[in-house]
């Protein structure tokens, strides 16, 4: 997922409440005595960390593949996962000199200090890099000289209340409009995360028994979250209406209909589609939330924030029934005709909330040569933004870090509730 023009709505990012549920282990970190918290984001194949209230920024993972939402394992260990693709030597990035992970595409597991544990989470298959022995079900790019960056990318992630991990795979969505319907939701089961199940995805065509890059799946699934009932919330940024116009939405996959263990998926690793109960939680349109890409729980209003990469407003708040919260303010964005024309406009990807309700979002800063034409992130124009909140009214977003290439996610961690990853020293 590293083409120069990244995607209309490459999806990535957020954690908020979606990844941080504490597993039922009985272990709980000591409560914080101050207002400390941590904010994490990926950019240009590395993972950075912001410590608040000090404002210090450090590198959690040096450049080597991070390319998706970060989610903290809910077992009190401080371990976390991040989606990855190979960092190519052509990217002129130090990570391109390091060994490729196996298989080429998946979720990588890190310890609490950002050190790769050696474990990757993936869907098994025959496709691997030369000299490697571990394969996944995502084939190499036909037009990419055998690279593994444009046929599948793990983007969003979330842990459920049982500690199972869900991730979204955007498939081949690399800037086409409408995005292809080959996106997937994949689950790995606690506690060892070695068994995978394709919960939702293509149903015909494509490659192999999982119909990778086929049709009938999701159109650009984004960041994930889990609600209080255990339902999985999935932004589908690329959904369209009957006329083929942008009409993104957030889906709700009912907890009771999701797989409990690998036996629910069968030997082929595919979950029977008929067992999955999906409904629309938030429905967008061409004029309103056309590309919803991330969702996060606001701990102050006990409601949900949803962002859209294109459109105005850029962030809107919803109650647990998926209705806009009356009287709640929004974060302004860009209309479709303004994309790439406004130097101060916001194109949010990830969303996350601090414990005090402060909103953070990743602005990938899109430019286009025309309306929804040749759209991609402007070089070194990405930003991490903080939005102070005055009750239900968002303040003016303030940049906390700038000059980024391809920032795609943001995650927060409250040390009063979790063991938070921290760089060594």
pLDDT exceeds cutoff 60 at 3 = no
The string of pLDDT tens digits covering residues 318-358 is 999 999 999 999 999 887 777 766 666 788 999 999 999 99
pLDDT at 28 (0 to 100): 36
The string of pLDDT tens digits covering residues 38-48 is 999 998 889 99
Reported confidence tier of residue 174, pLDDT bands at 50, 70, 90: confident
What average pLDDT is seen over the chain? Answer: 88
Residue 391: count other Cβ atoms within 10 Å of its Cβ: 11
**Average pLDDT estimate for 292-309:** 96
CATH 1.10.3720.10 at 16-413, yes or no: no
CA atoms within 13 A on the CB side of 142: 4
How far apart are alpha carbons 24 and 32 in whole angstroms?
20
Please check whether residue 354 is in contact with residue 400, taking contact to mean a CB–CB distance below 8 angstroms.
no
Burial class (CB in 10 A: 0-12, 13-18, 19+), 378: middle
**Average pLDDT estimate for 11-31:** 33
CA atoms within 13 A on the CB side of 332: 7
∠ Cα 280 284 288 (to 5°): 160
What is the SS3 assignment for 120? strand
**How far is the CA of 199 from the CAs of 85, 134, 270, 359, in angstroms?**
21, 22, 7, 30
The alpha carbons of the chain give a radius of gyration, in whole angstroms, of: 19
Tokens read off for 326: 């009356």
How far apart are alpha carbons 274 and 269 in whole angstroms?
15
The string of pLDDT tens digits covering residues 366-421 is 877 766 666 777 778 889 999 999 999 999 999 999 988 888 899 999 999 999 99
pLDDT at 167 (0 to 100): 98
Please check whether residue 133 is in contact with residue 165, taking contact to mean a CB–CB distance below 8 angstroms.
no
pLDDT at 372 (0 to 100): 64
pTM summary value? 0.90
How far apart are alpha carbons 255 and 310 in whole angstroms?
30
pLDDT at 30 (0 to 100): 38
């Amino acid at each position: 997922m590293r083409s120069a023009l990244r995607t209309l709505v490459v999806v990535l990012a957020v954690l908020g409440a979606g990844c941080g549920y504490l597993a039922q282990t009985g272990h709980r970190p000591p409560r914080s005595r101050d207002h400390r918290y941590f904010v994490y984001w990926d950019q240009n194949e590395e993972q950075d960390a912001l410590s608040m209230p000090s404002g210090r920024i450090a590198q959690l993972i040096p450049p080597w593949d991070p390319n998706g939402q970060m989610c903290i394992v809910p077992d009190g260990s401080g371990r976390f996962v991040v989606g990855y693709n190979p960092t190519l030597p052509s990217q002129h990035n130090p990570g391109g000199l390091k060994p490729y992970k196996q298989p080429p595409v998946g979720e990588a597991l890190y310890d609490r200090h950002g050190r790769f544990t050696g474990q990757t989470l993936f869907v098994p298959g025959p496709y691997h890099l030369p000299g490697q022995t571990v394969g996944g079900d995502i084939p190499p790019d036909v037009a990419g000289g055998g690279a593994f960056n444009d046929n599948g990318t793990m983007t969003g992630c979330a842990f459920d209340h049982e500690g199972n991990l869900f991730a979204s795979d955007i498939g081949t969505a690399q800037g086409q409009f409408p995005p292809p319907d080959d996106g997937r939701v994949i689950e790995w089961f606690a506690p060892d995360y070695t068994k995978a199940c394709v919960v939702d995805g293509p149903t015909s065509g494509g490659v192999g028994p999982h119909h990778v890059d086929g049709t009938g799946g999701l159109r650009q699934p984004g960041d994930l979250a889990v609600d209080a009932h255990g339902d999985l919330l999935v932004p589908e940024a690329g959904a369209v209406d009957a006329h083929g116009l942008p009409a993104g939405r957030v889906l709700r996959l009912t907890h009771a209909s999701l797989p409990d263990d690998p036996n629910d998926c069968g030997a082929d690793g595919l979950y029977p589609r008929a067992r999955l109960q999906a409904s629309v939680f938030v429905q967008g349109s061409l004029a309103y939330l056309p590309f919803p890409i991330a969702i996060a729980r606001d701990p102050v209003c006990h409601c949900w924030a949803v962002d859209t990469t294109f459109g105005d407003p850029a962030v809107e708040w919803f109650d647990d029934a998926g209705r806009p919260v009356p009287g709640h303010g929004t974060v302004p964005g860009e209309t479709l005709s303004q994309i790439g024309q406004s130097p101060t406009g916001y194109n949010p990807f990830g969303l996350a909330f601090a414990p005090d309700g402060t909103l953070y979002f990743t602005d990938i800063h899109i430019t286009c040569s025309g309306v929804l034409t040749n759209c991609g992130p402007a070089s070194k124009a990405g930003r991490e933004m903080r939005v102070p909140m005055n009750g239900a009214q968002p303040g003016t977003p303030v940049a906390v870090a700038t000059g980024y290439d391809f920032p795609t996610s943001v995650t927060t961690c409250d040390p009063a509730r979790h063991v938070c990853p921290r760089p060594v020293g």
